[in-house]
Structure 1
């Protein structure tokens, strides 16, 4: 079986940023919580009769086509604004153009992971976002904020969900509604294994980058992250210790399938019933729709379990926003476009609604803007591959519980060499939770934080 292609999250080095370029040269010196120069502010919105021309960058692939359609709706609303919409390798090109200030777009799609470390090169959008702030996800605002100022226009929200095989849980006498805590999830996995001795019900990620991204989703549920707003490492905490201990317990009890996301071994384990419980982001919906032929229609989504009774039932796993370079030629018109796409009903409906690319609507994320996430007005349709489940309601309910976070530090991707790899050793039974915390903290501090 060939390695699957996942266009929405390519997998996924883009979900939190592939770019080691964000750690090189001048960029490394601008960590969250610092500012090399006074930020440039945008404070006014052009009128409906605005005229001009803008260049907008997006990644190639399915999302480019989705946004191209939505930009068509913008052109109808603002016929005097010409939009040059370009497909660009953003990870390879954007950071360098921000530094040099030449050949810049007026606006660009970008990973949340990159924005906190690039504030000196971006427009301060705080005043423009102010009217929408109270109705925007606290998480998305927090990862776009540096020194109290907002530098990215929040777009998608990627809530974590619990994906499960409905038929296997029913066979084992497990009620999905009863999976309220992570202890409940372990109990369900044990019941599935009693029913089928070859089952290893819980997916745990074998790719170090995705494994660390997954770990951060579980930490975000508890209101924490690898670094605080000032870039200080805070891995040594009860929240992380609880997660790592839970992982060790699952591994020790033989409840884990340790496989790379949607690679051949992972897909096979999902299809043959070995895996039945996948705590993952909403964009896992791609799997039953495109890859899982044998078990299509048997998978369902539910909120993540909570770490404590009554705790948050979701955390964010990845995400992207829009930025306006500080040296853009027509920044006001770029804001007009992003305001339309993110905060205006015709815009976000055009993005998330049915299209030739996603006939049922874009169902791999939800908007960060609360009025766009109305349960009674879904932007995408029930998913046939999930047995007709209303994924919209599950995802928007989960999104509403996601706690705020901190800007993602410039060194996050490089920290995978330490935390991501040590997490793999824990899943392989080669390290203990305290060893993961101590070794990772020491190496991240010495090799990344101190050097930055």
Structure 2
């Protein structure tokens, strides 16, 4: 999650980058607990309200830790006999190795969806406990937490993709954002903006290879696919990816794109001076107008992503996190009691997403994966002043409802950035064709990552 002081880019770097997925990761095909003959560890019962005991819970440091700390206080009121030791930990550096060694384990931890599939053998199988909530939980969040038909993470947040746009510039160019229903419409809108301002390159294309690949996966998820299937087989060579890459090439060839790094100086300058006006990105881009954009604060709005085909999905996921319970935890049942409270119960999810001393208007960089939380009588976070008072909750919830299911993210995903992420940059620079990107990336990922795993 992003925080008021740290852009999401740096958090995602810790989550997926710098070799994090590779540390202690087993090949995906060997992830199913019980494959070694020891049998899966399953949690099947929920403790009573009078349960007693002590648990250690890990979260990342920063503002999100403070949000959960306040929410855990609400849990303590509901379960006064459960002592919760809430600790700020460098999860990306510590958790994977700790799961393998089994030493000094927490009873539960925050973790990125990207890592759950590769570490399932070290986690409790939560399928039976999730069952009562399954029909009301986002299919996407269930799918990325599922290995071999079993669920190993407690689904928490959804990070739906949205189209961020400058309302004043679109109005001046005669572009109705409600009519941007396809990606061809988005190109036409960029052309209209460019006619009004020849210096404009209205559409943001990401220059950072890692974030560029994450963005590409959001657009692929929108079409119901991803870089790898549930068995870890590479499926980049497909109509869906060719459609996306061909669209990127059109934006580049027609000089309609600003190729800049997410919220770096060049990106911010183009956003502020009107050269960029269309940003297809995750809900957590809301950080930019709230914290970084000074001249244009209040002029940005969000709407649904365009669809790739008529009637197609209007959003895809870009990032996300869940909660896990280590298979060797001392008090796993009490950890489940906490996570059930935070994700599936009131006042738990309201304590996480609602107004607090940390986020006075509520946590507005994601939405809950649990449908009843998204359908609460009152929005869990308030309209965003930096978006001109727009009701971002309504827009983000509508987008989240349409996110297609996915597959567990393979352990080699971050290393594939060396191939796919870098080749995507070459496409944006006009140095490769869509077929070049697909052929070269597929061959190198298969040879250097999948086959070696």
TM-score by length of 2: 0.97
The superposition leaves residues 112-163 of structure 1 with CA deviations (integer Å, 9 ceiling, x where unpaired) of: 0000000100000000000000000000000000000000000000000000
The superposition leaves residues 275-316 of structure 1 with CA deviations (integer Å, 9 ceiling, x where unpaired) of: 000000000000000000000000000000000011000000
Alpha-carbon RMSD = 1.3
Aligned equivalents of 2:212, 2:337: Cα separation in 1: 37
How far residue 5 of structure 1 moved from its aligned partner, in angstroms, is 5.1
- Kept in 2, the 8 Å contact 1:31–1:410? The answer is no
How far residue 95 of structure 1 moved from its aligned partner, in angstroms, is 0.4
Residue 191 to residue 199, structure 1, CA distance change in 2 (3 Å): same
How far residue 13 of structure 1 moved from its aligned partner, in angstroms, is 1.4
Q: Summarize the alignment of residues 78-157 of structure 1 with structure 2, pairs less than 5 Å apart.
A: 78-157=79-158
User: Residue in 2 aligned with 1:28?
Assistant: 26
Aligned equivalents of 2:10, 2:100: Cα separation in 1: 26
The yes-or-no answer on 1:353 pairing with 2:354 is yes
How far residue 177 of structure 1 moved from its aligned partner, in angstroms, is 0.2
Partner-residue secondary structure (3-state), 1:234: coil
The superposition leaves residues 53-112 of structure 1 with CA deviations (integer Å, 9 ceiling, x where unpaired) of: 000000000100000000000000000000000000000000010000000000000000
Residue 270 to residue 375, structure 1, CA distance change in 2 (3 Å): farther
The yes-or-no answer on 1:441 pairing with 2:439 is no
- Kept in 2, the 8 Å contact 1:154–1:321? The answer is yes
- Kept in 1, the 8 Å contact 2:143–2:407? The answer is yes
Q: Summarize the alignment of residues 207-286 of structure 1 with structure 2, pairs less than 5 Å apart.
A: 207-286=208-287
User: Residue in 2 aligned with 1:197?
Assistant: 198
- Kept in 2, the 8 Å contact 1:288–1:295? The answer is yes
- Kept in 1, the 8 Å contact 2:136–2:370? The answer is yes
Which stretches in structure 2 are left out of the alignment for 5+ residues? none
The superposition leaves residues 244-295 of structure 1 with CA deviations (integer Å, 9 ceiling, x where unpaired) of: 0000000000001000000111011100000000000000000000000000
User: Residue in 1 aligned with 2:52?
Assistant: 51
User: Residue in 2 aligned with 1:175?
Assistant: 176
How far residue 376 of structure 1 moved from its aligned partner, in angstroms, is 4.7
- Kept in 1, the 8 Å contact 2:202–2:256? The answer is yes
The superposition leaves residues 12-57 of structure 1 with CA deviations (integer Å, 9 ceiling, x where unpaired) of: 214x5235243245x2334476454322000000000000000000
Aligned equivalents of 1:318, 1:163: Cα separation in 2: 17
How far residue 10 of structure 1 moved from its aligned partner, in angstroms, is 3.3
Q: Summarize the alignment of residues 413-432 of structure 1 with structure 2, pairs less than 5 Å apart.
A: 413-432=414-433
Aligned equivalents of 1:361, 1:78: Cα separation in 2: 24
Residue 41 to residue 19, structure 1, CA distance change in 2 (3 Å): farther
User: Residue in 2 aligned with 1:313?
Assistant: 314
Aligned equivalents of 1:55, 1:430: Cα separation in 2: 51
Q: Summarize the alignment of residues 396-411 of structure 1 with structure 2, pairs less than 5 Å apart.
A: 396-411=397-412
Partner-residue secondary structure (3-state), 1:49: coil
- After TM superposition, what 4+ stretches of structure 1 lie above 3 angstroms from structure 2? 7-11, 28-37
The yes-or-no answer on 1:327 pairing with 2:325 is no
The yes-or-no answer on 1:17 pairing with 2:16 is yes
Partner-residue secondary structure (3-state), 1:274: coil
Partner-residue secondary structure (3-state), 2:217: helix
- Kept in 2, the 8 Å contact 1:32–1:410? The answer is no
Residue 221 to residue 375, structure 1, CA distance change in 2 (3 Å): farther
Aligned equivalents of 2:352, 2:337: Cα separation in 1: 16
Residue 32 to residue 274, structure 1, CA distance change in 2 (3 Å): farther
Aligned equivalents of 1:40, 1:375: Cα separation in 2: 34
- Kept in 2, the 8 Å contact 1:22–1:28? The answer is no
Residue 65 to residue 32, structure 1, CA distance change in 2 (3 Å): farther
How many residue pairs match? The answer is: 447
The yes-or-no answer on 1:295 pairing with 2:296 is yes
Aligned equivalents of 1:332, 1:52: Cα separation in 2: 10
- Kept in 1, the 8 Å contact 2:204–2:280? The answer is yes
Which stretches in structure 1 are left out of the alignment for 5+ residues? none
The yes-or-no answer on 1:77 pairing with 2:78 is yes
- Kept in 2, the 8 Å contact 1:32–1:230? The answer is no
Partner-residue secondary structure (3-state), 1:422: helix
How far residue 235 of structure 1 moved from its aligned partner, in angstroms, is 0.2
How far residue 375 of structure 1 moved from its aligned partner, in angstroms, is 6.7
- Kept in 2, the 8 Å contact 1:248–1:429? The answer is yes
